[in-house]
Amino acid sequence: MIRKATRADIDAIMDITKACAIHMINQNIFQWNEHYPNRAAFENDVRRDELYVLDIDNSISGCIVISTVMDKEYEPIKWLTPNENNIYIHRLAVDPKYQGQGYAQQLMDFAENYAIENNYTSIRLDTFSQNKRNQKFYELRGYQRLGNIYFPKQSEFPFYCYERII
């Protein structure tokens, strides 16, 4: 089940994202670290009513942020659609013990259905240039790679921006 997150869920979400960071680092993917994702980001997501959790057997096992706010880092990108009616996906995570079972697909299906039901024009997101698995995941779902952005606290390598028109 996917539901809106509450402040009470943030500890579990932090545990999942830390486990994901370790899992990626063990695969030489230095995408998440001690700076990101952080508690303040998730608290802000809850405040804005944009954070959702995946609940498996009454245990939080994943999360996704569906936002209408475009981060300033996205401004230089030449998007496929005007910056008027878009949603942005951030902090998609599935507990490593549940990865490979289709839960990330379910979270993205949820976000894409949300975009369709609410008449958004497109979905935008970014993923780490060194994370080939994520790139393939989004490209197979019809997302187009458009440009690079940088998050210096996370990596010297770029993050690729993607968009899918709904």
Please give the pLDDT value at position 145.
Answer: 98
Choose the most confident range, by mean pLDDT, from 19-33, 99-113, 151-165.
Answer: 99-113
Instruction: Quote the tokens at residue 118.
Output: 């609410």
Please give the pLDDT value at position 14.
Answer: 98
pLDDT tens per residue across span 58-77: 999 999 999 999 999 999 99
Q: Would the pLDDT of 155 be above 90?
A: no
Whole-number average pLDDT of the chain: 96
* Closest C-alpha among 58, 130, 56, 50 to residue 92: 50
- Rounded to whole angstroms, the maximal C-alpha distance in the chain is 42
Please give the pLDDT value at position 34.
Answer: 85
pLDDT grade, residue 56 (50/70/90)?
very high
Q: At residue 65, what are phi and psi to the nearest 5 degrees?
A: -105, 130
CA atoms within 13 A on the CB side of 2: 22
Placement of tokens 């245990």 in the chain? 59
pLDDT grade, residue 166 (50/70/90)?
very high
20 and 94 Cβ atoms separated by less than 8 Å = yes
What pTM does this model have? Answer: 0.95
CA 31 – CA 156 distance, rounded (Å)? 10
CA 46 – CA 73 distance, rounded (Å)? 21
pLDDT grade, residue 85 (50/70/90)?
very high
β-pairing, 86-94 vs 122-128, is: parallel
The stretch 126-142 carries a mean pLDDT of 96
